[in-house]
Structure 1
Amino acid sequence: MSLSAVHGTLSSLKSCQADIGTGMDIVTDVAMDLAETQDQGDNPGIKEMEAMILECAKLDREINHFVDIVQQVTSEVNTQQQPEAMFSLSAKVKEQFTERIARLSDAELQSHPKVVAFMDSMKNSLNQANQESVENTEELDEDIAVTQSQVNFTCPLTQVEMVNPMKNKKCNHHYDEAAILGLIKAKQGQKKKCRCPVVGCGNTDVRQSDLIPDQMLRRKIQSQKRHSSRT
Structure 2
Amino acid sequence: MTIIYEANSTDNAIQLIDDMFSKCINTIANNVKDPEEQNEYIKILEKTVYHCANLNVKHKHLEKVIQESKAECAEKGEININQVFQENSKSVKYENNEMQVENHQFVRKFKNKTAKLLQANEEAAAAAAPTNTPNMPLDPITQVPIVSPVKNKKCGHFYEKSSIKKMLAAAKRKGIRCPYVGCATQNYFVYDDLDENVSLSQEELNNSEVSIDETIE
Using the size of structure 2 for normalisation, the TM-score is 0.48
| Greater RCO (CA < 8 Å, at least 6 residues apart) | 1
Higher helix share: 1
Higher radius of gyration, 1 or 2: 2
